[in-house]
Structure 1
Amino acid sequence: MSIRPVKSTSQAQPTMEGAGVHLHRAFGFADPTELDPFLLLDDFRNEDPSKYANGFPWHPHRGIETITYVLSGEVDHADSLGNQGKLRAGDVQWMTSGRGILHQEMPKGNASGQMHGFQLWANLPRDLKMTDPRYQDVEAKEIPLIEEDDGTRVKVIVGSFWGQTGPVDGIAADPQYLDVYVPAGVKKTLPVDTYRRAFAYVFEGAGAFAGASDPTGVLLEKEVMGEEVNIRDMSGNRTLVRFDTGDSITVQAGEEGVRFLLISGKPIEEPVAWHGPVVMNTQEELQQAFKELRNGTFIRPAH
């Protein structure tokens, strides 16, 4: 077993998107090679409806896939293909924009006004950039939940893990997308395919990941493997943890336990030309996409 040391940690930064939705961006619009095939991760949570109610009105996408995972509240969605529906707490939507789609997402809070969810962008390889758009809507009840004797819980949203396979399939990046909870004081090692880029995003509690205090992974790995963990090295709320190479990660949960997304995927390793919601391989393809948006030919008939 080869524990992946932590390459870096960072805090999600507050920003606004759509029609004034206040959210925190874990990563995005920087170096697209860092977490290839993933481009962006947004954490949208708020208890004040005025900071999210105007939502994400009609906007285009081309060349990517977007993954929306709702924890609290609801998201009404519709698109230029005529699809419409509602994502409720625990539901997931995986949208392949392909050659182009227009859609909107309008969040609503729960009874106490709380709204919480995530949106991840995954790149599409060159040969699938112009594929047919499609949606996969998955209800919470369809997502496998693994419960260990030590209290660890893992929701398998995409990919296979500990004998369970998530319901979303046919994704270009062949990703693994897990929602992991490790209870207070528990130390857990989780497998991650050696050939995938991997990161964790902590959104509840705190935990120490092997290598978090030392880029080589030596110092904290010893602490995690031992009986005591230096609390200063805990990764807490809204922390992005990037992992180096290896075939597993180790986490020691803090006093309140830790809950995090564990996401990995196969790098595409192709040139990226990116502007806003459109991600292509060349500047010429990017310019063509925005030309089509202006002249009304962006949305094309199915192949």
Structure 2
Amino acid sequence: MAEFKVLNRVKGMPTSDGAGVRLNRVIGTPQLRHLDPFLMLDEFRSDKADDYIAGFPPHPHRGFETITYMLHGAMKHEDHLGNVGMLTTGGVQWMTAGEGIIHSEMPMQEDGLLWGFQFWLNLPANEKMKAPFYQDLAPEEIPEVQDDNDVLRRVVAGVSKGTKGPIQREATQPLMVDFRIQQATELEHDLPAGHKAFIYVYEGSVEVPEANVTLNRGELLAFTGESLKLVSSDKAGVLMVAGKPLEEPIVQYGPFVMNTAEEIQQAMVDYQNGVLAKVAEKV
């Protein structure tokens, strides 16, 4: 079994995106630019409408996948292909941008807590120009398992202790599990060999004995290894995410992620000339 190895420990960086939505960027900063195959992780969390009400008006993507996971609140997705989806508490939006998609994500509330995450998952070179795809998963479509140690596992992607999540991808083989810890306890979970992984603590704190660290809310630990053990002294919420590295060049410019600078330039030209949308409309 591969030895547990810490790659990085980071806290998020406050920033804004879209039309001024305040968020915490955890992957995609100078401290942790990428964690192959993951390109970005943002947490948005606020009960102040001014922090999120302007949302994310129409914008393009090419070359990767976006995953939005809601803990609380409601957002509406619309794209130029005609897809419309309502993302509510506990739901997931999984969108493959592929060769190109233009979409918006707008809050469907004027007050109260809006809390969730967006991940960017890279696509291999031979899939970057594939047809775009949109999948909207209602909360009840995410399998939940109540373990004996009073931990609720929500399995978004991959397979967790025999429970298969609704999202499966061959190239990156993502595993995404939300651990909702209800009391002081310990938990262990196996991870696929060769994957890069991270845990992000979104509530409370947890100890990672193999790393000899305690992570508090808002902290991420990136690591490799074939198992993970967590110890909690109270209630906590932890996202565990892993993926198979693509080990390919990453060239990013804003909402476009390709393998070469020439491909990025082409994406920009295609978007400016309206070709990106027209290509995608052939789907």
- Under a length normalisation based on structure 2, what TM-score does the superposition of the two structures give? 0.94
- Please point out which of 233, 242, 250 is paired with 1:264: 242
Question: CA offsets per residue over residues 34-65 of structure 1, 9 Å max, x none?
Answer: 51000000000100011100000000000010
Match of 2:204 in 1: 205
Q: 1:285 maps to what in 2?
A: 263
Change in Cα spacing, 1:88 to 1:237, as seen in structure 2 (3 Å) is: same
Who is 2:191 aligned against?
Answer: 192
Task: Sort the Cα spacing of 1:59 and 1:34 in 2 relative to 1 into closer, same or farther, 3 A.
Answer: closer
Q: Distance in 1 between matches of 2:82 and 2:172?
A: 26
Instruction: Single out whichever of 161-170 and 2-11 deviates more from structure 2.
Output: 2-11
Q: Is residue 85 of structure 1 aligned with residue 65 of structure 2?
A: no
Question: How much has 1:31 moved relative to structure 2?
Answer: 8.2
1:289, CA displacement in angstroms?
0.7
Q: Aligned residue for 2:135?
A: 136
Show CA shifts across 1:255-277 (max 9, x none): x2221110000001111110001
Deviation >4 Å, runs of 4+: 29-34
Alpha-carbon distance between aligned partners in 1 of 2:33 and 2:113, rounded to the nearest angstrom: 34
Q: 1:109 to 1:239 in 2, by over 3 A?
A: farther
Letter in structure 1 aligned against 2:231: Q
- Does 1:237 pair with 2:236? no
The equivalent of 2:120 in structure 1 is 121
Instruction: Name the structure 1 match of 2:161.
Output: 162
After superposition, the Cα gap between the structure-2 partners of 1:170 and 1:27, relative to the gap in structure 1 and judged at 3 Å, is: closer
User: How far, CA to CA, are the matches of 1:258 and 1:175 in structure 2?
Assistant: 23
**Aligned residues of 1:6 and 1:210 also touching (Cα < 8 A):** no
Residues 140 and 19 (structure 1 numbering): CA distance in 2 closer, same or farther, change over 3 Å? Answer: same
Match runs of 1:1-303 below 5 Å: 4-28=4-28, 30=30, 34-109=34-109, 113-170=112-169, 172-212=171-211, 220=212, 233-244=213-224, 246-254=225-233, 256-299=234-277, 300=279, 301-302=281-282
**Distance (Å, rounded) in 2 between the aligned partners of 1:273 and 1:32:** 15
2-structure distance, mates of 1:56, 1:259: 26
Highest relative contact order (Cα 8 Å, sep 6+), 1 or 2? 1
Cα 1:297–1:94 change in 2 (3 A) is same
Deviations 1:144-168 (A, max 9, x none): 1111111011100011111110112
Answer yes or no: is the 8 Å Cα contact 1:33–1:269 preserved in 2. no
Number of aligned residue pairs: 281
- Distance in 1 (CA, whole Å) between partners of 2:169 and 2:248 is 20
RMSD: 1.8
Deviation of 1:7 after TM superposition, in Å, equals: 3.0
Structure 1 length-normalised TM: 0.88
Q: Distance in 1 between matches of 2:125 and 2:217?
A: 35
Identity across the alignment (%): 40
Classify 1:242/1:85 alpha carbon distance in 2 versus 1 (closer, same or farther; 3 Å): same
Task: Name the CA distance, whole Å, in 2 between partners of 1:100 and 1:30.
Answer: 27
* Contact 1:100–1:298 (Cα < 8 Å) also in 2: yes
Question: Offset of 1:239 from its aligned partner?
Answer: 0.6
Q: Which amino acid aligns with 1:64?
A: F
Q: Is the 8 A contact 2:196 2:244 kept in 1?
A: yes
SS at match of 2:216: coil
Note if contact 1:72-1:109 (Cα within 8 Å) is conserved in structure 2: no
Unaligned runs of 5+ in 1: 213-219, 221-232
Give the deviation of 1:27 after TM superposition. Answer: 1.1
Q: Find the aligned partners of 2:47 and 2:33 in 1 and give their Cα distance.
A: 34
Structure of greater Rg: 1
